[in-house]
Amino acid sequence: MLTPLDMHNKTFGKGFRGYSTDEVDEFMERVAKDFERLYQENLEYKETVERLSRQLEQYQQMESTLRNTLIIAQGTAEDVKTNARKETELMLKETEIRTQQMVNEACLKVRKIQEEYDEVKKQMQVFRTKLKAMLDSQMEMLKTAEEQEPQP
């Protein structure tokens, strides 16, 4: 590729009736300056393209990382929801079991209290019967004693 320096250093042989060297030199100088400016712009554009390409690559990597992070976060959120549901179900089952145990224990206590009540009731009935029998016996003894007592 032709460089601005190549254009500056280019010389032409002189012919018998050739072009005016001053005009050619002046024109070549203008072409060299324009070419140099364009050459510098081209280098700057290449650098800009390379820099932007690197930035684009970084952004693409960041996008990929963010996508992966989002996917992981969504998976984690689903796992958390699933675990929370399972834990809730487990807690409900444990609560149902404990509640049933409490109901069973309460039923047993009620039966025990009922049995104790029935036992006390029986004992009271037995006590009444014995007391009545004793009172009846005492009444009989009093009657017998009155009948056997001499009369005034």
Q: What is the pLDDT of residue 125?
A: 95
Task: Kindly indicate the confidence band of residue 114, based on its pLDDT and cuts at 50, 70 and 90.
Answer: very high
Q: Evaluate if residue 1 carries a pLDDT over 70.
A: no
Q: What percent of the chain has pLDDT over 70?
A: 96
Number of separate helices (H) and strands (E) present in the chain: 2, 0
Domain ranges of the chain: 4-107
Report pTM: 0.45
Total length of the chain: 152
Q: What is the mean pLDDT of residues 9-37?
A: 79
pLDDT, residue 152, reads 66
Over range 88-96, report the average pLDDT. 96
* DSSP label of 38: H
Contact by Cβ (8 Å): 54, 36: no
pLDDT one-digit tens code per residue, 24-78: 888 888 888 888 899 899 999 999 999 999 999 999 999 999 999 999 999 999 9
